[in-house]
């Protein structure tokens, strides 16, 4: 979130700067020193509309006609439950404040979206015109009661759900109006599809289905105040945007809002420390009367409800302009202080911030304990009963008879803090149907803790953030307990190898997890494959930053080696009806959709079933030519082969029927794989094969035609997608394996990555936790390097023909 002080001017300055590049002779840019454009620095005067001067002078001393005035008056940028790649029901509304009709032919909507008004398009005096992303979709919303004559479009592009800027240009390219918006404080958060998903919202707002395609828009409050003033925009009433008509809440000037809320202490330390008085620097927007300002605050105890609320009244004399400093008393370390701001804006004292429409009831700050560490320190606060509920949610297992457990992925409320920033979160344990329960006992935990499990265990945590308050842009923070992959080398090194081969893979780092004020465990933070990761990957891979691959369809195999409830084998085999569940339900359960969760599994089902149709169900052989043709048409063959090379070089433990992702690009519908769960790779499982680093490079291939099977396949399991590639591209695969073994997978390259990870791991930090690690990182590093050297010697030193056992 950018500095609120900059919000009001950032977008306009950016646009004017871009427009004010030196033009060709005679070309009008619409810059501030040209006729018809407002002074955006506040040093000159604006017209009553806050946009244009009312007249211009000609070179012969006469007066030229004033440029037509036009204003942005409403924006709906994120309707509720669109469930499509494009928000089809979003719109921008403009208003003609003048006394005459205006011909808009040649005018343009610019900035985040692009639309050129057709000749003959006009807007009546005092009228409103709606530019729609999808006019037919917008006209179909009955409550809007729009006439087709009020709607034009579609525009190109899509409004961003925050950090957006719009420009309305006349037919001579001068600027008629500008506006920018964001989806966090001090903007109305509810305009971003109510600001959060269903699990975060108040019961009275549910179900979301009641608000589908509508929700909350941004409404301009005053037509005589600039649209670049954040205080001039408010949230519409729920499900009552006003496209095509005047906003019922129009005022001569906007009500004041809180536009800045900084915290500070007398100390130069950027974090608030125990006992330090805290100064809230509050700044209000410049328009409207303001009096009787009050700050209500309390210290949040996650174990209780109804904590006493204190109030601090602010006298008018304490203000300097529209800014006031309010001092709150010091608190103990690990205190979460919540506050909100009230004021009389002409109709009695009322809540000003957070806005009543916002999904968060309070702002907050944290009193940070002193932690002597260079690592990231994550603070998590959980009520004891909620922490115990996390265990109750999973203790019966993922499947219960023919049904999936309804609580397996349920989350409980908590508070997460990093670098003093407070986030309200939802938390659950992380891991598979096997590994979610497993972890070392924590025998000595003096802080508030759960009644179950007993004793407390060092488990993995999944922390979810609401849309209005992402953590560093992320929806989810996954913290791995570092037991199977102890001390994180297999994941950290393995994912880095995938990234160095230009394949999507998680970023990892180490962090301290503190719970309820105590240092709980040293954790491996693993980026969760999902929308954010794939978006970042495509941006990094794009040759043209203006033409980035959109996020595609990502599915995680969460199957098992049996049929249980709706879940089935996640190894790529076709799934049949089972236990009363149809095939669509079974695929949806077995392959968990991680992006575009509103969409179905039809394309995944079609791919897996057609690929399997080229396989002989008895001997496991495939029609090589037909399979090749299908793979070349529907897969990114090179990316798939590179993925399988790295995975099989590492001798995988767990990519047979679970713990891998299938990904389909949107641009060309081609499929590939994304790695996950490398815990036992790079040596530990190799020892279990009986062959060590000399285990087969054909892990995942069906071993029916191999005497004794393929040693790399745990329990004889295999993966049908990998098998199709390993059979259809056998020679190409061996060549690629040998090539990468001498490059990215060379022991020297691998050793260098191992050293980087070891350097990032702090054994003293790890041992200081209540739940300390049970492994030796230096020993693990030496074993990893030894595996890499031996695997390299086997792959490079073995003739291609001898790498094949059939």
Q: Quick check: helix, strand or coil at residue 400?
A: strand
Instruction: Classify residue 41 by its DSSP letter.
Output: T
**326, containing H or E segment:** strand 323-328
Q: Same domain, yes or no, for 205 and 265? A: no
Q: Taking residues 516-527, what's their average pLDDT? A: 97
* pLDDT, tens digit (0-9, with 9 covering 90-100), for 631-658: 999 999 999 999 999 999 999 999 999 9
Q: Does residue 135 lie in a domain region?
A: yes
- Which structure tokens are listed for 691? 């062959």
Instruction: Classify residue 85 by its DSSP letter.
Output: S
Indicate whether 130 pLDDT > 70. yes
Q: Same domain, yes or no, for 229 and 262? A: no
Distance CA 710, CA 708 (A): 7
Q: Determine the straight-line distance between the first and last CA of the chain, rounded to whole angstroms.
A: 59
Our count of domains for the chain comes to 3
Q: Same domain, yes or no, for 94 and 192? A: yes
Indicate whether 1 pLDDT > 80. no
Backbone angles phi, psi at 128, to 5 degrees: -130, 145
Residue at token pair 């606060």: 381
Q: Same domain, yes or no, for 226 and 148? A: yes
Q: Same domain, yes or no, for 592 and 707? A: yes
Query: Strand pairing of 412-418 and 553-557?
Result: unpaired
Distance CA 64, CA 52 (A): 14
Long-range contacts of residues 567-570, Cβ cutoff 8 Å, at least 24 apart = 567/398, 567/399, 567/404, 569/657, 570/657, 570/658
- Is residue 40 within 8 Å of 12, Cβ to Cβ? yes
Please tell me the predicted confidence (pLDDT) of residue 806. Answer: 84
What is the CATH number for 118?
2.60.40.1260
Which residues are bridge partners to 234 per DSSP?
A: 219
- Which structure tokens are listed for 618? 């008895």
Please tell me the predicted confidence (pLDDT) of residue 64. Answer: 63
Please tell me the predicted confidence (pLDDT) of residue 692. Answer: 96
Q: Same domain, yes or no, for 634 and 709? A: yes
Q: Does residue 200 lie in a domain region?
A: yes
Q: Taking residues 311-328, what's their average pLDDT? A: 97
Among candidate residues 176, 202, 235, the one where a domain is terminated: 235
- Cβ partners under 8 Å of residue 493, min gap 6: 682, 750, 753, 754, 757, 784
Please tell me the predicted confidence (pLDDT) of residue 34. Answer: 37
Q: Does residue 516 lie in a domain region?
A: no
Q: Quick check: helix, strand or coil at residue 398?
A: coil
Residue at token pair 């990114």: 636
Please tell me the predicted confidence (pLDDT) of residue 48. Answer: 38
- Cβ partners under 8 Å of residue 647, min gap 6: 655, 675, 681, 699, 700
Distance CA 465, CA 189 (A): 15
* pLDDT, tens digit (0-9, with 9 covering 90-100), for 13-42: 444 444 443 333 232 333 433 333 333 333
* Residue 614: alpha-carbon gap to chain centroid: 38
Q: Does residue 602 lie in a domain region?
A: yes
Among candidate residues 316, 341, 366, the one where a domain is terminated: 366
Distance CA 722, CA 727 (A): 9
Share of the chain above pLDDT 70, in %: 92
Q: Same domain, yes or no, for 596 and 743? A: yes
Q: Same domain, yes or no, for 170 and 270? A: no
Among candidate residues 314, 346, 366, the one where a domain is terminated: 366
Q: Same domain, yes or no, for 592 and 680? A: yes
Whether residue 487 has a cis bond before it, omega within 30° of 0 = yes
* pLDDT, tens digit (0-9, with 9 covering 90-100), for 43-62: 333 333 344 444 444 445 55
Q: How many CB atoms lie within 10 A of CB 418?
A: 18
Question: What are the DSSP E strand ranges found in 594-684?
Answer: 660-664, 671-675
- Is residue 178 within 8 Å of 170, Cβ to Cβ? no
Distance CA 768, CA 772 (A): 7
Q: Between 267 and 5, name the one with better pLDDT.
A: 267
- Is residue 53 within 8 Å of 35, Cβ to Cβ? yes
Closest of 227, 234, 236 to residue 255, by C-alpha = 234
Q: Does residue 514 lie in a domain region?
A: no
Long-range contacts of residues 35-39, Cβ cutoff 8 Å, at least 24 apart = 35/64, 35/67, 36/66, 36/67, 36/174, 37/174, 37/175, 38/226
Mean pLDDT of the chain: 92
What is the CATH number for 340?
2.60.40.10
Distance CA 221, CA 742 (A): 65
Per-residue pLDDT band at 486 (split at 50, 70, 90): confident
* pLDDT, tens digit (0-9, with 9 covering 90-100), for 652-679: 999 999 999 999 999 999 999 999 999 9
Distance CA 718, CA 596 (A): 29
Q: Same domain, yes or no, for 640 and 710? A: yes
Instruction: Classify residue 575 by its DSSP letter.
Output: -
Q: Does residue 608 lie in a domain region?
A: yes
Q: How many CB atoms lie within 10 A of CB 104?
A: 25
Please tell me the predicted confidence (pLDDT) of residue 63. Answer: 58
* pLDDT, tens digit (0-9, with 9 covering 90-100), for 181-205: 999 999 999 999 999 999 999 999 9
Distance CA 604, CA 587 (A): 9
Q: Does residue 669 lie in a domain region?
A: yes
Q: Which domain holds residue 103?
A: 71-235
Q: How many CB atoms lie within 10 A of CB 546?
A: 5
* pLDDT, tens digit (0-9, with 9 covering 90-100), for 389-448: 999 999 999 999 999 999 999 999 999 999 999 999 999 999 999 999 999 999 899 999
Range from 46-55, 188-197, 590-599, 617-626 carrying the lowest mean pLDDT: 46-55
Distance CA 90, CA 77 (A): 5
Q: Same domain, yes or no, for 195 and 334? A: no
Distance CA 107, CA 34 (A): 18
Q: Beginning with the edge strand found earlier in the chain, give each strand of the sheet holding 113-116 in spatial order.
A: 156-157, 113-116, 108-111, 164-169, 175-181
Indicate whether 690 pLDDT > 50. yes
Q: Does residue 160 lie in a domain region?
A: yes
Q: Same domain, yes or no, for 132 and 207? A: yes
């Amino acid at each position: 979130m950018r500095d609120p002080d900059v919000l009001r001017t950032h977008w306009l300055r950016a646009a004017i700067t871009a427009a004010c590049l030196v033009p060709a002779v005679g070309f009008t840019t619409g810059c501030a020193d040209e006729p018809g454009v407002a002074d955006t620095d506040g040093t000159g005067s604006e017209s009553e509309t806050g946009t244009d001067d009312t007249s211009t002078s000609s070179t012969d001393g006469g007066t030229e006609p004033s440029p037509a005035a036009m204003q942005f008056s409403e924006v709906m940028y994120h309707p509720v439950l669109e469930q499509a790649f494009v928000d089809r029901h979003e719109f921008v509304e403009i208003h003609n404040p003048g006394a005459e009709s205006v011909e808009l032919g040649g005018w343009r909507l610019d900035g985040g979206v692009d639309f050129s008004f057709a000749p003959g398009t006009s807007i009546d005096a005092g009228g409103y015109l709606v530019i729609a992303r999808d006019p037919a979709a917008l006209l179909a919303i009955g409550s809007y009661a729009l006439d087709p004559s009020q709607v034009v479009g579609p525009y190109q592009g899509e409004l961003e759900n925050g950090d957006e800027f719009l420009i309305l240009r006349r037919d001579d390219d001068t600027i008629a109006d500008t506006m920018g918006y964001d989806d966090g404080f001090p903007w109305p958060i509810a305009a971003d599809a109510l600001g959060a998903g269903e699990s975060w919202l108040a019961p009275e707002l549910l179900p979301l289905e009641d608000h589908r395609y509508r929700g909350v828009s941004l409404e301009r409050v005053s037509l005589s105040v600039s649209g670049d003033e954040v205080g001039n925009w408010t949230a519409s009433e729920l499900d009552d945007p006003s496209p095509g008509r005047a906003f019922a809440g129009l005022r001569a000037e906007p009500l004041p809002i809180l536009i800045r809320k900084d915290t500070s202490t007398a100390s130069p330390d950027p974090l608030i420390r125990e006992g330090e008085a805290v100064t809230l620097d509050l700044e209000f927007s410049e328009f409207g009367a303001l009096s009787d300002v009050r700050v209500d605050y309390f210290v949040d105890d996650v174990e209780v409800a109804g904590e006493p609320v204190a109030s601090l009244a602010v006298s008018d004399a304490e203000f300097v302009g529209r800014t006031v400093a309010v001092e709150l008393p010091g608190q103990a370390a690990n205190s979460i202080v919540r506050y909100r701001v009230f004021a009389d804006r002409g109709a009695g004292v009322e809540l000003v911030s957070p806005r009543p429409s916002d999904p968060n009831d309070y702002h907050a700050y944290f009193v940070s304990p002193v932690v002597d560490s260079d690592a990231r320190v994550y603070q998590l606060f959980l009520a004891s009963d909620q922490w115990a509920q996390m265990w109750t949610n999973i203790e019966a297992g993922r499947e219960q008879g023919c049904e999936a457990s309804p609580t397996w992925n349920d989350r409980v409320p908590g508070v997460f803090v990093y670098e003093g920033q407070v986030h309200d979160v939802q938390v659950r344990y992380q891991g598979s149907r096997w590994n979610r329960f497993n972890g070392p006992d924590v025998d000595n935990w003096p802080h508030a803790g759960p009644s179950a499990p007993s004793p407390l265990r060092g488990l993995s945590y999944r922390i979810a953030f609401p849309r209005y308050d992402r953590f560093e842009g992320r929806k989810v923070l996954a913290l791995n307990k570092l037991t199977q992959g102890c001390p994180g080398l297999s994941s950290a090194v393995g994912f880095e190898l995938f990234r160095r081969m230009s394949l999507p893979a998680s970023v990892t780092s180490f962090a301290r997890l503190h719970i309820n004020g105590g240092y709980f465990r040293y954790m491996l933070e693993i980026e969760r494959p999902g929308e954010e990761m794939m978006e970042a990957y495509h941006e990094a891979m794009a040759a043209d930053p203006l033409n980035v691959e959109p996020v595609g369809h990502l599915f995680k195999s969460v199957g098992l080696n049996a049929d249980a409830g709706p879940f089935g084998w996640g190894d790529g085999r076709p799934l049949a009806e089972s236990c009363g569940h149809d095939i669509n339900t079974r695929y949806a359960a077995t392959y968990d959709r991680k992006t575009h969760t509103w969409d179905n599994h039809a394309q995944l089902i079609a791919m897996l079933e057609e690929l399997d149709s080229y396989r002989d169900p008895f001997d496991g052989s495939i029609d090589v030519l037909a399979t090749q043709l299908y793979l070349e048409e529907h897969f990114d063959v090179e990316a798939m082969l590179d993925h399988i090379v790295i995975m099989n070089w590492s001798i995988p433990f767990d990519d047979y029927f679970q713990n891998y992702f299938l990904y389909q690009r949107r641009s060309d519908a081609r499929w590939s794989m994304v790695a996950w769960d490398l815990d036992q790779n790079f040596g530990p499982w190799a020892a279990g094969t009986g062959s060590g680093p000399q285990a087969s490079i054909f892990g995942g291939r069906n071993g029916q035609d191999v005497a004794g099977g393929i040693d790399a396949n745990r329990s004889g399991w295999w993966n049908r997608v990998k098998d199709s590639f390993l059979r259809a591209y056998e020679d190409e695969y061996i060549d690629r394996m040998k090539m990468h073994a001498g490059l990215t997978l060379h022991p020297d390259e691998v050793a260098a990555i191992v050293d980087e990870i070891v350097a990032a791991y702090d054994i003293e930090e790890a041992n200081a936790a209540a739940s300390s690690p049970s492994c030796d990182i230096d020993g693990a590093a030496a074993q990893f390097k030894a595996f890499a050297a031996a695997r390299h010697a086997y792959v490079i030193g073995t003739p291609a023909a001898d790498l094949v056992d059939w």
